[in-house]
């Protein structure tokens, strides 16, 4: 059985990962650290702090006998390109399956956030994922996928103070409104905490809202070899 150490910024993400992988032979060990989210508005907060904390925690999880690490926070995931290389086990960002899909499927994407602090870093990861090498080995951004970011204002504060139902309803309304206003574009819920609201919009309206959970199990099957029970 594979052991996956799950690195979260909020405890609410635990149940989402447990439910998604309930049918698989995998041990999930959860590590929750809300500290960076609490510090992000401090005047002296910067990327160096994120790098140091994420690097420290990745090493700690790896030392705790994890076979792989799943990082569910988009703020933490923004630095994985560098920090994951320093760890001896595979490190997967929650948005990795979706980024892979965006490389495969062309179209216009609206990537929706509730946490404004994660927008810049996540969009940098998106643009990097869409880079491709040409015949001379030079990188260029693929034209198959065009992206823009939007934020649903006033929502992230709800989940951080424990108002799960209020957060779910506000995100559901925000995602549905964006999808209806931009019918020709694919709407993506960027953060794991948004996945239940995305699923609810799809169930209620038939409008497909992409989320980090939709492709996670299949991605882990292919990249980590997890198997169903």
Q: What is the pLDDT of residue 143?
A: 53
Spatial distance between the Cα atoms of 96 and 39, rounded to a whole number of angstroms:
25
CATH classification of 2-94+215-224, choosing from 3.30.70.100, 3.40.50.1860, 3.90.550.10, 1.20.910.10?
Answer: 3.40.50.1860
Q: What is the pLDDT of residue 127?
A: 85
Locate the domains of the chain by residue range: 2-94+215-224, 97-210
CATH of domain 97-210: 3.40.50.12500
The parts of the chain modelled with pLDDT lower than 50 are 133-141
Q: What is the pLDDT of residue 42?
A: 85
Domains 2-94+215-224 and 97-210 share a fold: yes
Q: What is the pLDDT of residue 83?
A: 85
Tokens linked to 117: 């602090």
Number of H-type helices and E-type strands within the chain: 11, 10
Spatial distance between the Cα atoms of 222 and 117, rounded to a whole number of angstroms:
31
Q: What is the pLDDT of residue 131?
A: 75
Summarize pLDDT for 140-193 with one digit per residue, the tens. 445 556 899 999 999 988 988 889 999 999 999 999 999 999 999 999 999 999
Q: What is the pLDDT of residue 189?
A: 96
- End-to-end Cα distance, the chain: 10
- With contact defined as beta carbons under 8 Å apart, do 139 and 132 qualify? yes
Which runs of consecutive H residues, i.e. helices, occur in the chain? 12-20, 35-39, 47-63, 74-77, 80-83, 96-104, 119-129, 156-160, 164-181, 195-205, 216-224
């Amino acid at each position: 059985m594979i052991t996956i150490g799950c690195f979260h910024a909020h405890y609410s993400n635990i149940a989402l990962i447990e439910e998604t992988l309930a049918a698989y032979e995998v041990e999930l060990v959860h590590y929750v650290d809300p500290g960076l989210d609490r510090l992000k508005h401090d005047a002296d907060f910067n990327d160096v702090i994120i790098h140091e904390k994420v690097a420290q925690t990745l090493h700690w999880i790896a030392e705790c006998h994890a076979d792989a690490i799943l990082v569910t926070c988009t703020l933490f995931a923004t630095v994985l390109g560098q920090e994951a290389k320093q760890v001896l086990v595979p490190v997967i960002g929650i948005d990795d399956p979706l980024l892979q899909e965006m490389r495969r499927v062309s179209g216009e994407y609206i990537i929706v956030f509730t946490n404004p602090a994660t927008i810049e870093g996540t969009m940098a990861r998106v643009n990097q994922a869409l880079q491709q090498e040409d015949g001379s080995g030079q990188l260029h951004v693929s034209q198959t996928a065009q992206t823009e970011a939007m934020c649903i204002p006033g929502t992230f504060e709800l989940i951080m103070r424990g108002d799960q139902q209020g957060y779910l309803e506000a995100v559901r309304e925000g995602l549905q409104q964006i999808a209806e206003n931009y019918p020709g574009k694919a709407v993506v819920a960027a953060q794991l905490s948004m996945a239940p609201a995305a699923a609810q919009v799809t169930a209620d309206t038939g409008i497909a809202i992409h989320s980090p959970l939709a492709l996670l199990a299949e991605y882990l099957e292919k990249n980590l070899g997890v198997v169903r029970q």
